[in-house]
Every structure is written in structure tokens, then in C-alpha cells.
Amino acid sequence: MPGSGWGTSAAEFRWAVGIENTFVPHTRAGHRRLDEYELMDHYRLWRHDLDKAADLGISTIRYGIPWYKVNPRPGVFDWSWTDDVLEHLVVTRDLNPIIDLMHYGTPLWLDNHFLNASYPRRVAEYAARFAERYGSIVQCYTPLNEPAVTASFCGRDGRWPPYLSGDDGYVKILLALAEGINLTAEALRAIRPDTILVHVEDVGLEFASTPALTAVAVESQINRLLPLDLACGKVGPDHPRYSWLIEHGASDGQLQSIARTSPSWDVLGVNFYPWTNRRIVSRQEGRPRTVRDSPPSALADVLRMVHARYNLPLMVTETSSPGTHLERARWMRETLAAVRQVRADGLPVVGYTWFPMFTMIEWKYRWSRKGLEHHLLHLGLFDVPVHEGRMDREPTPLVEAFRQHLSDPACSIGEWPVPVPTELVA
């Protein structure tokens, strides 16, 4: 188990929130800048937002650093904003941050973005400079949030820089991300050996709607787990996608190096939303397609799958649902019931994160011509209606519901089961 209170008892369980921190600052024709801190006025309201988080009674917050702002030029770092933020977050409000070093976007000066030959070295340099400055108060890091989503948006679908498409593009981005993650983890632990690494991924179940589609679902599940397999050093010559990676541009030496240098993760973070699991169905013409199918209880199945495959402590690093306040409260209650269920079965689930804490701007804003008020995604404990330029964080009934769950953790998530010695079993 990771140290510093990351135990499995109800008292040590990590209750957390997160502030949406997607940073894609690059623009092009038809693509607007997407910086969630900027769009939700967090750069100005950060103290107010962090106070609201701390007042919930949580111990932990997932918090992102805008790499493109703190590293405005090669080798130049500006910590003027983060100094005040982290002082208030850690020292004044006694929150334990899990720092998102990379939440999608690269600096504006890094041409070709993730494809830049220096990207792995540059992102590790940024991590090292951050750890040198804040290592005395920050222990927990996520080197890169959701590699699967990053590789898909940047490499397969051409939505985000460097706008590649197809399988070749996906593999190029995925390998660059893996190399950057490995160097980042190495840099962090070189500065603070007791660094806690929390890997965060969009991982879910792919299942067939009919027996005839079982083989398709199996192949889809292998593809879905490939980024996590790569991050955990599980992609060797016997991996079912090894030859496919070679076919699309990887080399044996590159894959061996990634597997050999993959981090020893302390916690695997699972992000789970109503759209996480995918049911494979058939169209009338017989071609398979997917339907989003994730009832809150299905979180238990996802946690079981991830633990069975990787055998590491788990944390729910993101979960929430759109809908009415009543529907969001139900999602909270039932996903916590799923956590309680798997903990009772012996799975080491060490934390739960409601993410985001307040309204975010949906990503399609980047490609839209409409204003912010048309792209508010209400998932949080606090709603933010945009009205006459104001972005007040308005508490919803979920705030009190979340506090109630925190107030009785043994009831909400269950005490960790204590194994009974075999000699005492009749």
C-alpha cells in the first residue's frame, strides 16, 4: 500500500474532488482555445474555489497545472501563480493534492506537440522543476491524465494537436505519451523517492449484446486496455497487440524500453461515467456499433476487472453524472455502493473522487461558434450558471449529500475486511 495515510481503512480512505483542468491552448481555423481554468474563471477565483473544496471536509484534491503557462519558453519557468495557489491549498487549507502535471495540452512553443522529438525530455524537465520547487509539500502526482483519451483525440481522430488520424497516428501519439510518462516518473522519484504515483485512465468494459458479437467485444476490450497495459509494462512480444504496434510504426527496441522503464505505480485511478462502458450492437446491415451503457452499479465490475489484471490499489479518480440534482445524487449513492461492495470482497479501493467539483465547459466548445452559456456541462456539486458575465458557484443539494457520505465513511464505503487466520476458521 502507498504510504502517507493511503491505507485501506475507512478512516484512511481518500475522499476527493477535482477541478476540471483540460488545457488545449492552441488555436486554428474553426478551433478555439480550450483552457477550462480560463473559461470557468478559476485563474481569478482559485482561492474561492479551493476554500469551497476544503469546506466539504475532503482530504484530497485532484489539481492540474497549466504546463503551457508555467513553462512559457524553452527552459523558462514562471511559478508566480502556482506559488500562491499551492501555499493556500496545502499549507493554509491542509489539502493533499494529486497534481495533474499533464491534462492534454503541450506548451505553445513545442512544435508538433507530442510528436516533437524532445517531448519526453521536455515534459520530464517540467516535472522535475515542479518537484524541485514544491517537493516539500507535494507528494502525489499523475504524470499524464488519460493516455487513452489523449491518444485518441490527438492521434486517431484528428481533434486536438497534432491532429493525426488513423491507427498509425494513434500509435505514434501513444508511444510518445508512454515515453514521456516513464521519464516523468523517473524524474519525480529522483527528486523525492517517496513520491506517490497515481496513474489515471479512462478504462471500461466492452461487452456484446448478443452471443454472435462476443468475439468482437473481446477484441474491442483488448484494444481498450492497450494504453493501460503499455503504462504498466505489460506489452511484450506475447501481447495480442504487439505485432499490430510494430505494423503501425513501433519498433521492438522502443516497446522493450517502454516496458523496462515503466513506473512502479502506487495507485491505479479509474475514471467512470455513464458513458464509460460500451455495449456492442449490430446495425441492420450487420456492421457492429457501440452504445454507451454504464449504470452506476457497473463501477463494481470495472474495478474488479482492473484489479484482477493489474493487482494494484485502486482509486475512483473521476465519477459524476449529468442530469437533475436528484439524478446526480443517485449516481453518487450507487457508485459509492459499488465501492462498498468491492471493498467488502477484499479489493483495495483507497479513494473516491467527485469530478468535477463544479460545472465545466464541454469540450465541443472548441469547435463551436456559440457562447459559453451554450456549453455548460453541469456534473458538479456546485452549479455555475453564466449570467451577465458572473460565474458564481451555486451549491446544490449534492454538497450536503457528499458531506453526509464523508461523515460516516464506515457506512458509505465499508470498513476494510480483516482476514481471519486460517487456524481460527472452523
Average pLDDT (109-120) is: 96
Enumerate the domain spans of the chain: 14-204+249-272+297-424
Q: Which position has the grid cell 476527493?
A: 16
If you count them, how many residues does the chain have?
A: 426
Dump pLDDT digits (tens) for 274-326: 999 999 998 767 778 888 889 999 999 999 999 999 999 999 999 999 999 99
Average pLDDT (376-396) is: 90
- Report the interhelical angle of 325-344 vs 397-407 (nearest 10°): 20
Average pLDDT (224-232) is: 97
- The single-letter code of the amino acid at 251 is S
Residue of 235 and 423 predicted with greater confidence: 235
pLDDT of residue 278: 93
Q: How many CA atoms lie within 13 A of 325 on its CB side?
A: 13
How much is the mean pLDDT over the chain?
A: 94
- The answer for residues whose C-beta is within 8 angstroms of residue 366's C-beta and 6 or more apart is 24, 31, 32, 33, 34
pLDDT of residue 423: 40
- Residues 290 and 208: their CA atoms lie apart, in Å, by 9
Dump pLDDT digits (tens) for 29-80: 999 999 999 999 999 999 999 999 999 999 999 999 999 999 999 999 999 9
pLDDT of residue 221: 95
Q: Work out the percent of the chain whose per-residue pLDDT is above 70.
A: 96
Sheet holding 278-282, edge to edge: 206-208, 278-282, 288-292
pLDDT of residue 426: 35
CATH domain 14-204+249-272+297-424 topology: TIM Barrel (3.20.20)
Taking every pair of Cα atoms in the chain, the longest distance, rounded to a whole number of angstroms, is 72
